[in-house]
Structure 1
Amino acid sequence: MRRTVAVVGGGCSGVLVTRELLRCSDDEVVIVEPGELGGGIAYGGARPWHVLNSRAGAMSADPDDPGHFVRWSGAAPAEFRPRREYGRYLRTVLDEAVAANPGRTGVRRARATRIVPGAEGGTVVLDDGTAVHADHVVLATGGPSAARQRLEHPRYLDDPWAPGVLDGLPADRPVLLVGTGLTAVDVALTLTADGRRTAPVVAVSRRGLLPLTHTAEAAPPAAPALDDCATLRDVVRAVRSAAGEAGDWRPVVDGMRPYLDKLWTALTPGEQDAFLRHLARAWECHRHRMAPEVAARVVALREAGLLEIRRGGVAAWPGLADYAAVVNCAGPGRLPGSAGPLVGGLLDAGLARVGPHGLGLDIDPSGRVVAADGRAHERLWVIGPLRRGAQWETTAVPEIRAQARRLAADLQARPVPIAA
C-alpha cells in the first residue's frame, strides 16, 4: 500500500524534500503551497538585481551531482547567479522529478492553517475549507518571521518582501531600515535601483555591522584543528589561529561548515547562549557574505551618500517622522513570539514545543517534531530553518538537501501501513 506524504511549503525546502521522497520511495506526495513553487521568501520576491549569496557551484539540488545547477544555468562555478533564476531552477528540478514519477504528486493551491497529527498520520487543514489526510506530514515552511519592532510610524513596513510594498516611496525623503544584514542590503538595492533616489537610505542596527564580502574566486576550504576544542573559547582560539595561518578567514569559515552542527551540539547551553549574545552577529557577517558585485554597489551607494549605516538602538531612534517609511529588515525573531499562525497553533496546542533558545522547533535527531510532553511525533517532521537551535547550520541549500535525503531515507525505513 502506498503512503501519502503531505509537504507543507513549496519553497526550496519543500522542493528538495519532495524530490527525495519521489526518488527513494513509492509514496505519493501532496505539496501544500498557495504561491509559486520553488519561490519562497528567498526566490519568489527577488528582483533582477538580487543575486545568490553563494556561488553557483554550491547550489546543486542533487547531493550526488554537485555540478547540476552549474550545467543547468551555464554558469561558472564561482559565479553568483540571479535569485530569480534559482527559483526557475527549483521549479525545473521539481518538474523533472514529477515527470519521472508520474501519478505520484499532487499540489494543493491553498494555505495550511492547522496541522492535526495523530497516531496513524496527520491532517492538514487548508484555508479553502478542505483538508489533506496523510500518513506523514513534513513541515517545510521556512523559519520564524522577522523580529517584530515596537515602532510607531504611519508607514511602518513589517514585510519588505510583500509584493509592491516598496513601490512608490518618495525618492526625495529618507527611508529607515531596521537591520543591517542581507535583507537590508537587498532592500537598499531595490530602493536605489532606478537611479532616481536623492535622499539616503539609512540602515540601523545595534552593532551597525554589514555582511562581509566574498572574494572573486574561492580559495579551497581549510578547516581549523578542532579535535582538542572542549569549550567555546577553544573554538574561537582555533579559528583565529587558522585564519592567521591561512592569511584569509574565508576558507577557514567555509571549511568549518561540515562540523558546525557537531560543534553546536557539543557546547553547553550556557556556551550556546554566550555565543548568541556575543558572537553570533559577527559570525553571521563572516558566514553569510555579499557577492562581490553587490558589495561594490554598496560601497558606491555609501560613497554617494545614498546609503548610511548607523549603530544604535532603534527603539530610541530620533526623528522617525522625518522618514518616508520604516522598513523592518531584522533577522528571524525568536519563538513563540515570531511564530506564524501554523506553527503558533502547534505550539499553543502542545503539539510542538519551542527548541533551544527559541530559534526554532524542538526536534529529535531524525527531524521529527517534539511535542510539549517531550515525545517525538512518529509522523510529523520538519526540515530547514525551523530546525535551528537543535541544529545550527540549517538554512542553506547544501545542508537542506542533505536533510531532505536523510529525512526521505528515515521515512522510507518506517513500516508502510497495511490495507484494511
Structure 2
Amino acid sequence: MARKTVAVVGGGCAGVLATRELLRCSDDRVVLIEPDTPGGGLAYGSARPWHLLNSRAGAMSADVSDMSDFSRWASVAPGDFAPRATYGRYLSDVFARTAAAHSDRLEVVADRACRLASDGIYTEKSGKIRADEVVVAVGNPAPAEPFTDHPDYIADPWRPGVLDAIPSDVPVLLIGAGLTAVDVVLTLTADGNRDAPITAVSRRGQLPLTHTVSAAPLTSLALDEPRTLRDLVRFVRQAAAEAGDWRAVVDGLRPSIDRLWSGLTPAEQEAFLRHLARPWECHRHRMAPSVGARVATLREEGRLEVRAGGIRSMTAPPAGGLLVELEAGVQWFGAVVNCAGPGRLPGAAGPFAGGLLRDGHARVGPHGLGLDIDARGRLIGADGRVNDNLWLIGPLRRGALWETTAVPEIRAQAGALIDRVK
C-alpha cells in the first residue's frame, strides 16, 4: 500500500497528540499546519504563572502507556496541579521529541489553513498543501458574540497585554463566572495593587467548585442500561450522598458520560443544556485547591462579587467606560471583559471550521455545540454523507459527544485515529 499524506490542521494540544500518534503508529507522512509554535494553543500558550491546570498532573501525560510522563518531565507529584504554562512547554517538548524521531515523515507548515481542497488544504501564504486525509484539530468554537465594539470592552481576554492595561482603580465587570473568569480574576489581582472591585455576572451566578488537596478514590458506578435524564439525576444524587464525597462520583462517571449522553433523547439533551449543564460543569471542571482558596479570600475581602442574572443593556458614556444595566440596576465599569464560554455554531465557528460549513464539507452538529460526526469521528457534510478522509478531533466534537474537551479524552481520540490510517 502506498504511503499516504495526512494533514493535521491546528497545532494545539489536539494537533500535537494527533501528530504524535500518526507518526508513532503508522508509516504515513504528516503535514502539521499551524501558524504558531506547536504545543501552546489558546489554553496553554497565553497562560500566566498563576494559571494552574484544572486536573492533577498524573492525568495529563501525552502517552497513555506512561501516565507518569508529564509529572516526571515537570518534576511534580502526580497529585499536584502544575502551571498551565508548564504544560504548554511539555506539549512543545513532546512535539519536538516526536519531530526528532520522525523527521523524515513530518513537515511543519508555519501558516494558517484557509479552506479544504479536493486533494488537500489551501493556506494563506504557502498555497495548496497536498494531502490524502485531513485531521481537523482547531480547538474550541469562538466565545459568544460580544455586546459592543468599544475600547473598554475586552472581547478576548487572552489577547496579550489587554488585562494589564486595565487601571487598578476602576471597577471591572466579567461576563461569565466559569474558569475563564477565574483566570481573569487571578491576573487582575496578581500584583496585589487592585483597589477597585471585580464583579462577575452569569445566569446562575455559580463559580466552579474546588478540588480536594488529595483525590478521593473513584466510586464505581453500575450504569449499564440506558436511563432517562430524570433517572440519571436521581441516580447521581443518591450515589453522591452514599459516597460522602461527590467528587468521587463525578469523576467515576467520566468514562460513561459519552455513552450516557448519546442514550438521551434530543429533547432530554436540550433539557440538560438548559437546566443542568452549568451545575454539572461547576462540579466536573473544578479549580485547583490553591486557586479555590485564593478566590474564596477575594470574595471574603469584598474584592470579588459574583452575581446571578443577565445584562440588559450596555451604553458608552462620553467620559469613558461602560454603563451596564444589570438586574440590580445600572452600574459604571471602567472595563468589561467577555469571559463567556464557547458560542453556538455556525456563528461561533472559527475561520477554518466556518469554511468547512460554508463549502458543505461539514454541517452543524447537535444543539450547535460543534460539528456533526459519525461514530468514528469522520465529519458529515451538508448533504448528510460521511467524508471518508476528513476527521475531527477535540472540542468541536461536542454535541455528538459531551466529554471531548479535556486531555484524557483528546488523547484517546488521537489514539483512535490510528485505526483509520492502517
Matches within 5 A, 1:293-332: 293-316=290-313, 317-318=324-325, 322-332=332-342
Question: Is residue 344 of structure 1 aligned with residue 354 of structure 2?
Answer: yes
Letter in 2 for 1:303: E
Deviation at 1:102, TM superposition (A): 2.8
Question: Is residue 137 of structure 1 aligned with residue 134 of structure 2?
Answer: yes
Matches within 5 A, 1:254-403: 254-316=251-313, 317-318=324-325, 322-403=332-413
8 Å Cα contact 1:17-1:408 kept in structure 2: no
Partner of 2:320: none
Deviation at 1:227, TM superposition (A): 2.9
Structure 1 residues 331-350: Cα deviation after superposition (integer angstroms, max 9, x where no partner):
11110010112111111121
Structure 2: unaligned runs, 5 residues or longer: 314-323
Deviation at 1:223, TM superposition (A): 3.4
Structure 1 residues 277-303: Cα deviation after superposition (integer angstroms, max 9, x where no partner):
100000000000000000011011112
CA distance in 2, matches of 1:149, 1:310: 19
Cα 1:147–1:320, aligned 2, differ >3 Å: closer, same or farther?
Answer: farther
CA distance in 2, matches of 1:140, 1:374: 21
8 Å Cα contact 2:33-2:109 kept in structure 1: yes
Deviation at 1:201, TM superposition (A): 1.2
Partner of 1:10: 11
8 Å Cα contact 1:224-1:239 kept in structure 2: no
Partner of 2:200: 203
User: What's the secondary structure of 1:346's corresponding residue?
Assistant: helix
8 Å Cα contact 1:6-1:138 kept in structure 2: yes
8 Å Cα contact 2:226-2:263 kept in structure 1: no
Deviation at 1:129, TM superposition (A): 4.9
8 Å Cα contact 1:264-1:391 kept in structure 2: yes
CA distance in 1, matches of 2:12, 2:351: 18
CA distance in 1, matches of 2:99, 2:344: 36
Q: How many residues align?
A: 408
Structure 1 residues 52-85: Cα deviation after superposition (integer angstroms, max 9, x where no partner):
0000011011111111111111211110000010
Partner of 2:90: 89
Partner of 1:232: 229
User: What's the secondary structure of 2:336's corresponding residue?
Assistant: strand
TM (norm. structure 2) is 0.94
Range with greater deviation from structure 2 (307-316 or 325-334): 307-316
Question: Is residue 150 of structure 1 aligned with residue 147 of structure 2?
Answer: yes
Letter in 2 for 1:406: A
TM (norm. structure 1) is 0.95
User: What's the secondary structure of 1:322's corresponding residue?
Assistant: strand
CA distance in 1, matches of 2:71, 2:163: 32
Partner of 1:217: 214
What is the root-mean-square deviation of aligned Cα atoms in Å? 1.4
Structure 1 residues 312-334: Cα deviation after superposition (integer angstroms, max 9, x where no partner):
11234427772121111001111
User: What's the secondary structure of 1:339's corresponding residue?
Assistant: coil
Partner of 2:317: none
Structure 1: unaligned runs, 5 residues or longer: 413-420
User: What's the secondary structure of 1:132's corresponding residue?
Assistant: strand
User: What's the secondary structure of 1:315's corresponding residue?
Assistant: strand
Deviation at 1:153, TM superposition (A): 4.4
CA distance in 2, matches of 1:82, 1:291: 10
Letter in 1 for 2:362: A
User: What's the secondary structure of 2:120's corresponding residue?
Assistant: strand
Range with greater deviation from structure 2 (196-205 or 224-233): 224-233
User: What's the secondary structure of 2:99's corresponding residue?
Assistant: helix
Range with greater deviation from structure 2 (50-59 or 300-309): 300-309
User: What's the secondary structure of 1:60's corresponding residue?
Assistant: coil
